[in-house]
Chains A and B, each alone.
Chain A
Amino acid sequence: MQKVGKKIWQRGDLFIWWTGAGLALSLIMTVALLFGVVLNASQFFWPGEIQVVSLKDNSSILGMQMEREMIPDLGDVAKKTDTYRIQIKRGNRDIYNSDFIWVDEKDIKSIHLPDEVVAIERREWGYFFGHIKEVRDGDKVVAHGTTESLQAIIDKLPQSKTINEQIKRVQKKEIGTINHKMERVRLKLKKLTLADITTGKEVDALKQEIPRLQAEYKILEKKLTELRTSQTAQLVLQTIEGKEKLLPLSQVLDIYNPNQFSLLDKVVYFMRSIQKFICDDPREANTEGGVFPAIFGTILMVLIMSMLATPVGVLAAFYLREYARQGAMVSIVRIAVNNLAGVPSIVFGIFGVGFFIYTLGGSIDQLFFPEALPTPTFGTGGILWASLTMALLTVPVVIVSTEEGLAAVPKGIREASLALGATKFETTWRVVLPSVMPSVLTGLILAMARAAGEVAPLMITGVVKLAPTLPIDGFWPFIHLERKFMHLGFHIYDVGFQSPNVDAARPMVFATTLLLILMVIFLNMAAVYLRNRLRKQLTASAV
């Protein structure tokens, strides 16, 4: 035994294995993190079963079991209680004030799955779990009992949704248009006042516009009331305690009985909730609904960033490699640019605030939008400034990647081109640039991945938790670069930490996290793939 031990010691196997354990731990951690995120996120999409938990004091709780943990005994620590408690999501926030309740296992008599039960996703107050007593249309009772009502509602739901859509369109689009026009008129008037024009044809025309818009608004308002009153169907809901609650059908977003779901139904529900998550607008202070505006904001920001960073980065790299005289100065600049990639992102953020927002934005406001002051137009955070800040942050990535590509282009090719009589520019444009294109692309994709995942600089340059409008809409000039926007990463921070109902929102945050990770990893894999292809290509061409 001793001999073996000595042998192992001398050969250093223990140390080799030890170093290997370091790698193993890193791998386990990465996998565990991804696994944890995926697991938690799928919980958000997968339909849970609704249980009835009967307690020993003869009361019952209806809901979905979420977690099980050991009861922390803070009073007497010497005694380890081996008792557990479970967390039940019982919904009905309007009735119970909170979505969740902890129940000690020792108080539980039995748990069973009721057949007749519904889960209703509502426009407000989160989920309702319980029974339906009846469905009314006006004063007439249309259906009795949970099962019959469920069918009746499922039949009526599409129609109700159509009306809801119409209401939303009137509210958002048509009334929004009028509000927009009103604001434009107000600003134009103010602009004229600033230019010392308070009377005249122009002013009169604008002033006449106002009552016309107001009349239009009245008409729309009437239309809205009509639409609203046309929704007469109501549900009489009953909680497990027998408490009744009236719910207009227009408040219902989705209704189902998860306990009767077959596997196929569950898969369908799973897919549909993923689709809703991606395509819907957020509700209830971001804790419910989808993340569409955040996805939109993230992608738009990354696109604007790419449009700004790529040409600039490529130009700088070409200058450094192809045009500048290689010497100490260029080496220093190169090191500086390399290091810039390591400067903390928040530093870029604060630069964006100081320079772009207050200096540039402030001047733009004074020059072009004096009528809107003191409300800043460009002098506050917005998607343009956020993208510019991000572009600055990612330019070094593009420069470094492009430079690497340029260094890999064999000198012989350039010399051949020059020897054939091409000018330097022709060589660069037609010979060097095409062969360095994959490098540029790699840099660009890496830059996009970095920009998509970075939050800190955005927090101070224009991301908000809830943006009322997207940066692109139907009003001229269609792209509103001064608007604030939503971002997936900030959504995680905000909902996970600042939301009033963190417990209820947590699964949703995991879903957002998964989405962001997938996005970033996809971009990175694309970059790796490109780089590998490029390497192969270059080794082939070097022969």
Chain B
Amino acid sequence: MTDETQQNKSGPEASRPDRAFFSRNIVKRLLVNRIATGVVTSGGWIIIGSILAILFVIVGEFYPLFKEPTLTLDREFKTRSVPLAVGIDPYQEKAYAVEKDGIRFYSLLGKKFISQPEIPEWNSAQVTGVFASQKDFLVLGLSDGRIYPMQIEFRPSYDSESRRTIEPFLLVEDAFQIQNDGSPVTLLAHLKNEHGYQIAARSAKGQVSLVSVRLRKTMMGTTRKSISQKTISVPVQGEITAMVFDEAHNNLLLGTSYGQIFQVDLDDPEHPSQLVGATRRPGVAVTHLGFVLGGYSLIVSDSDGAVFSTQLQKISAGKFKLTKIYDFQPHENQSHLFSISLRNKGFLTGSKKMVRLHYGTTGETQLSLSVPDNAEYKAITLAPKFDGILAADTTGTLHLWKMNNPYPQMSIKSLFSRVWYEGYDEPDYVWQSTGGSDEFESKLSLVPLIFGTLKGTLYAMLFAVPLAIFAAFYTSQFMDPGLKRTIKPTIEMMAALPSVVLGFFAALVIAPQVETFLPGLALMPFVVTGLILLALLVHEKVPALKFMAHSGKEIYLLVFITFLGGLLSFWMGTLVESSVLMGDHRIWLKQVFEVTYDQRNALVVGLAMGFAIIPIIFTIAEDSLSNVPGHLKASSLALGATPWQTALKVILPTASPGIFSAIMIGFGRAVGETMIVLMATGNTPIMEWSIFNGFRALSANIAVELPEAPEGGTLFRILFLAAFLLFVMTFVINTIAEVVRLRMRKKYQGL
């Protein structure tokens, strides 16, 4: 022990600041000892516990993604009569119901009827058909052959205490006579946007009346209405049973009782129609057609109870076809109720006995609600904030369910398997978290990122493992021990290089150089091997040159040879490029292998990440090679084996677990490396194995996207999930390595 510590022990007289701890009183001393033990033990546990708590915090952040959605019945009350359609305000305080004799407002909070607004020119008609959009625009079909468009508004107002009250208003438009004979209008569809609205109403067999109201802003700031009304005939078999406007293509889609779906072109004044799709078999009627938010995926319900989503795809000019995407969980009998979410791709379908919540992107059915007792569902709607369901049944009861479903698009399936997104030709793994428009749907598959991580790691390992193992092998077995003492720390110093430096260097220096000297780089191993061979022959043949490479100090010569070989191969590379590779390797690659060359690619990452992991693998591998008990080597050499044979057949097998764990630890480091992959790749989440393309890794993705992700949002939680994956991956890899190394140490002790 040092003198210093002995002095410390020399007696309590020594004036030290900690003297207060060390009283002469034995009781006090024991007490202090007790306390210290307690402090260290509890402190140790707290510290270790809190370190391990990292895992729990991360899990806690992403766990809500996978929570099952829940529904709780919030309230129920009777309406005045059976509603035909219902609607609800975003705060779930007020609701409207379309009933036979008009529209009634109800207070959901007070569970009571509020008012029935007076509708002009009602003429004691009865409501026979209704089409309600989620934006609270309604068209009523009346028993006297008229249609009556109207808008419902829920206007919030705040008092001085910032308490909110919501006032419902009804704004009526002009009614139109559709059926001149006064027969009731039962089937309707409408489309409303900032230019006005269009209404389609079934008027006779195979006939649809089309009313379009265009609103134009005049110079004076007033709006001018222009109205046109016409009738379209469609040659359908059976009855028209469902209608919906397709805003994207300016079409009207019609479903028939025979099970066919027709498309009517509204741009063409002739209104030609074409058959675009059908239900599963003839005779199964289309009971409802509806688009989910974004107007891209069409949901078809049929009289068998099946619900499936389709996309309208253009097959040739003017020709369209419906392609089926997902089948959702079917209903027991025909489903005719429908409501979409204004927030996401969720939608409700309902039969008389059952309401189900589906999600358009994932193809999953999230919730099912069966009707109580003997009632039948009559009308349903999804709350605007996707946090509730309002349903009315034939007994005239309104049911309000509160829904807790903050991450409807998330499931193991949507994160890890192919998803058929809108606008795609097939299901695919896509990561695209932000987009241009409001209706953009984030595509959050983790697969391209995991792929990117593995790709980067793989190429880094391909480069680093041979180099590091060779270097460790040489350093431990053949190098002069004196030299080793300086070389080893030099390599280890590489490990200290900050990864941001490596990333910067890779992107701005290595990447352009690799692009220029790629053929040379490919030639390098061969050229260097050739040069070594040449040097060996010369060395052997000309004894006078023996001084150049003393055993154990060949490294001097080798550095020179490798350097020379590098230069030579770069020079040869340019020769090869201009003679064999058509003058430019990028064009050659493109023409022969059809791969594009990105400047920041996996090769560059491999090289840079190699820098980062070579010293790690080297250090651990070298240690385990050096620690092989000396008597093994000695006895092998004594039996006449050459140093190479000894190294290869005796040392290497003994140390192989250590080398394995070295590789594993290097792998772990490469998996989690962030700055290098962030800077030296283009960060495009593509899935191609080509070494000349970039990729996006899990770790870089976190660094890029986290600053943009709002706290508690889907993206935020997915990034935690990505971090969890990284954590688990590295933790498992490192644990395996550690266990292997510990077992090896025991083995050595036995030898």
Contacts and interface: CB of A to CB of B under 8 A. Distances in A.
Given A16-B478, A337-B51, A358 B730 contact: no
Nearest to B470: A22
A114 interface: no
A286 to B, nearest CB: 14
A22 B533 CA distance: 15
Given A348-B54, A426-B29, A24 B559 contact: yes
B470 A23 contact: yes
Contacts of A541: 1-2
Interface in B635-689: 642-645, 648, 665, 668-669, 671-675, 678-679
A322 interface: yes
A431 B675 contact: no
Interface in B195-249: none
Interface string A294-334: 00000000000000000010011011101110000000010
A141 interface: no
A395 B54 CA distance: 13
A247 interface: no
Given A342-B665, A431-B5, A456-B699, A13 B536 contact: yes
B558 interface: yes
A521 interface: yes
A425 interface: yes
B9 A18 contact: no
30 contacts: A4-B537, A13-B644, A18-B529, A18-B532, A19-B473, A21-B561, A24-B558, A26-B471, A27-B490, A36-B509, A315-B43, A316-B43, A316-B44, A324-B41, A345-B674, A346-B672, A346-B723, A347-B54, A413-B1, A420-B9, A423-B30, A425-B36, A430-B8, A431-B8, A435-B1, A456-B678, A459-B707, A460-B706, A496-B507, A524-B496
B713 to A, nearest CB: 12
A354 interface: yes
A350 interface: yes
A425 B707 contact: no
Contacts of B52: 336
Contacts of B267: none
B439 interface: no
B61 interface: yes
A424 B41 CA distance: 13
A109 to B, nearest CB: 29
A264 interface: no
Given A315-B47, A323-B37, A453 B499 contact: yes
A343 B47 contact: no
Contacts of B726: 343-344, 346-347
Interface stretch (B120-128, B170-178, B185-193, B579-587): B579-587
B501 A77 contact: no
A37 B537 CA distance: 38
Interface string A225-239: 000000000000000
Nearest to A319: B44
Contact of A354 (B48, B57, B739): B57
B656 to A, nearest CB: 16
Contact of B491 (A18, A26, A492): A26
A435 B735 CA distance: 31
Contact of A455 (B32, B467, B500): B500
Contacts of B706: 349-350, 353, 460
The 4 closest A-B CB pairs, nearest first, are: A344-B672, A319-B44, A12-B644, A22-B470
B58 interface: yes
B118 interface: no
Contact of B583 (A80, A490, A517): A80
A271 interface: no
Indicate the size class of the contact surface on chain A.
Answer: 35 or more
B281 interface: no
B53 to A, nearest CB: 8
Given A346-B702, A392-B51, A430-B5, A493 B679 contact: yes
B489 interface: yes
A175 to B, nearest CB: 31
Contacts of A28: 559, 562-563, 566
Interface string B701-729: 01100110001000000011001001100
A323 B33 CA distance: 12
A446 B643 CA distance: 37
Given A16-B643, A431-B1, A8 B537 contact: yes
B467 to A, nearest CB: 5
Nearest to B476: A19
B546 to A, nearest CB: 13
A395 to B, nearest CB: 7
Interface in A372-426: 392, 395-396, 413, 417, 420, 422-426
Nearest to A502: B508
A13 to B, nearest CB: 6
Contact of A517 (B490, B501, B665): B501
Interface string B535-556: 1110011000000000000110
Contact of B498 (A4, A18, A455, A528): A455
Chain A contact residues: over half helix, strand or loop, or mixed?
A: helix
A351 B57 contact: yes
A452 interface: yes
Contact of A30 (B491, B501, B644, B645): B491
A6 B95 CA distance: 94
A18 B29 contact: no
A11 B644 contact: yes
Given A18-B532, A346-B703, A350-B58, A316 B47 contact: yes
B268 interface: no
A320 B535 CA distance: 54
A5 interface: yes
Contact of A426 (B5, B22, B479, B583): B22
A476 to B, nearest CB: 30
Interface in B46-80: 47-48, 51-52, 54, 57-58, 61
A343 B561 contact: no
Given A33-B497, A320-B44, 4 more contacts: A8-B540, A78-B583, A339-B738, A346-B726
A113 interface: no
B40 A315 contact: yes
A338 B734 contact: yes
Contacts of A417: 9
Contact of B467 (A22, A78, A435): A22
Contacts of A145: none
A434 interface: yes
B1 A33 contact: no
Given A19-B478, A26-B614, A338-B734, A424 B727 contact: no
B731 interface: yes
B40 A322 contact: yes
B503 A493 contact: yes
Most buried by B among A22, A338, A459, A513: A22
Contact of B51 (A24, A395, A459, A492): A395
B690 interface: no
A496 B504 CA distance: 7
A459 B536 contact: no
Nearest to A321: B44
Contacts of B51: 337, 340, 392, 395-396
Interface string B1-44: 11011001100000000100110000001101100110011011
A27 B61 CA distance: 44
Contacts of B18: 429
A423 B34 CA distance: 9
Contacts of B491: 23, 26-27, 30
Contacts of A453: 496-501
Given A335-B735, A347-B723, A323 B471 contact: no
B468 interface: yes
Nearest to B645: A12
Given A24-B561, A489-B500, A521-B493, A10 B642 contact: yes
Contact of A492 (B21, B470, B500): B500
B45 interface: yes
